[in-house]
Amino acid sequence: MNSKSKLQTILLFLADLISITVAVPLALYLLLWRYHSIEAQSSDILFLGFVAASSFLVSFFVTNSKRDVSNYSVRRFFLNRLAATLTLFASFTILIVSAKSVWSAYRLYLGLTAVLYGLLSLILRALIHRWLIKNYRKTRSALLTGIVTTADRAEEITQALGYHWSRRLVGIALLDGNDSIPDRINGIPVKAGADNFMDWLRLEPLDEIFVDIPYENGSELIPLLEQMQSMGVVVHLNVNFCDQIREDRKLHLRPMLMTVRGKPMLTFAAAQHNQFALIVKRVFDFLIGLVGSILSLPIILLVAIPLLIESPGPLIFSQKRVGKNGRVFKIYKLRSMYRDAEARKAELMEKNQMSGHMFKMKDDPRITKVGKFIRRTSIDELPQFWNILRGDMSFVGTRPPTVEEYEQYDSHHKRRLSLKPGLTGLWQVSGRSDITDFEDVVKLDCSYIDNWSLWLDFKIILKTIPVVFGNRGAE
């Protein structure tokens, strides 16, 4: 399956490569048709090719997914191509403008190239998707797959495996078979029963065998696996207790197999994230942390004067907060409260508007007049760009709790900390002050973690802009 995944990646890479190779000169031709002449030297043309190639590689590796194309919905497919187009355009524009190239004067060209690339890659990828799903399993390269299961499991396993474009399901062996079993299940012929299934496996041309049967312990399977192993085929064996975990609706764990000094270990994770995408997220955070810290300085200096006049004391407020998986760090904010705010918190707890492990109060008397202004405009959070630059936080994530709040967490609350906390996030753009139940905050945060992608971060950033400038949800 690893080789099939590589084949899919290669085919999609070639489709996108053809798309950018056609889009660059075609957009240039349309630009010449529009302006009749372009002031560009041969070196400018070479530079354009270099930028196009670099932007294409960035776009491909950021947006490409190893997910089987069979599992792509139409919506997901179009959103993926839209993300690729926007990533190409952003990378293209940044490189061209940063280099002060002659092409920066032709902004129309940059957008036209991205649009043409998006449309061409959309068409070519759709053709590849269709061909793989419809025709690959008919070729000699398809994996010939046999299934050993029981009658009550047969329909589910055949349906699941039937979606994979790289497999041709050649037959089923039912170990609890009887005369009432149909000749076919989901279109796959039933070839053998409990008395002759091993003969069928030995005689049938097979690349792999899926064994999905109930069993009490591994010793029952050893003779069966020994015979299959002697045939030299790949055997996929269900882990029996995983069925119980899957049937428990409270558990949403995704199993992965790994080895530790040759010892097989089944690993469970609530969410699995693309490591390359996480690296891109960190690079973005570093850049936005650096730029944000520099741009914040004049704004902080401007509000410092009225803030310190109204309430003498330190300008920057630091507090221990809990970050990814329980790591403690110091968060920095412009001080919006009087100096004795923490000491007065206990007496105000009865007026807490949040149900759960969070404190929020309307017209909090601890907040200064200037503090109310910088909170409404989110200016008080500008020093957190330093936290982002340091790597304690991300620009998009979940909000970090205080140590006191964290110590009151139940087990399922900690899951909201399985990614780095952020300056903005799904809760902030969903009307944070209108949400009064902490469990609703946890649900939003867990939804963000389970569905995280660079595209989701981008959408949250876009939603953050009107929230900040419209003073919505901030108190």
Q: Domain locations in the chain? A: 2-136, 142-238, 275-469
Tell me if 422 sits within 8 A of 393, measured CB to CB.
yes
Phi, psi of 453 (to 5 degrees): -160, 165
Cα 413 from chain centroid? 21
Selection from 154, 155, 196, 192 nearest residue 173 by Cα? 192
DSSP class per residue in 125-173: HHHHHHHHHHHGGGSTTSEEEEEEE-HHHHHHHHHHHHT-TTEEEEEEE
The label of the residue with tokens 């560009």 reads 40
Cα 181 from chain centroid? 43
The C-alpha atoms of residue 124 and residue 77 are separated, in whole angstroms, by 12
The C-alpha atoms of residue 166 and residue 133 are separated, in whole angstroms, by 8
How is residue 222 written in tokens? 């050893």
Q: What is the pLDDT of residue 261?
A: 58
Tell me if 424 sits within 8 A of 460, measured CB to CB.
yes
The label of the residue with tokens 């993300």 reads 83
How is residue 45 written in tokens? 């043309």
Q: pLDDT 10s digit of each residue in the chain, 475 long?
A: 456 777 888 888 999 999 999 998 888 788 777 666 666 567 767 877 888 888 888 888 888 776 666 666 788 888 888 988 898 888 888 887 777 766 666 677 778 888 999 999 999 988 988 888 778 888 877 888 999 988 888 888 888 888 778 888 999 999 886 666 778 888 899 998 888 888 888 888 888 888 888 877 667 777 887 777 777 778 888 876 666 655 555 555 566 665 555 656 556 666 677 777 888 899 899 999 999 999 999 998 888 888 888 787 788 888 899 888 788 899 998 887 776 666 666 566 655 555 555 566 566 667 788 878 888 788 888 999 999 999 899 999 998 988 888 888 887 788 888 888 998 888 878 765 566 677 888 888 888 988 888 889 999 998 888 877 765 545 5
The C-alpha atoms of residue 427 and residue 70 are separated, in whole angstroms, by 33
For 356, left (φ over 0), alpha (ψ -120 to 50), or beta?
left
DSSP class per residue in 357-388: S----TT-TTB-HHHHHHHHTTGGGTTHHHHH
Helix and strand totals (H; E) in the chain? 15, 12
Amino acid identity, position 410: D
How is residue 315 written in tokens? 């300008």
Q: What is the pLDDT of residue 343?
A: 61
The C-alpha atoms of residue 171 and residue 163 are separated, in whole angstroms, by 16
How is residue 312 written in tokens? 């003498």
pTM for this model (two decimals): 0.57
Tell me if 455 sits within 8 A of 83, measured CB to CB.
yes
The CATH code belonging to domain 142-238 is: 3.40.50.720
The label of the residue with tokens 């079993």 reads 181
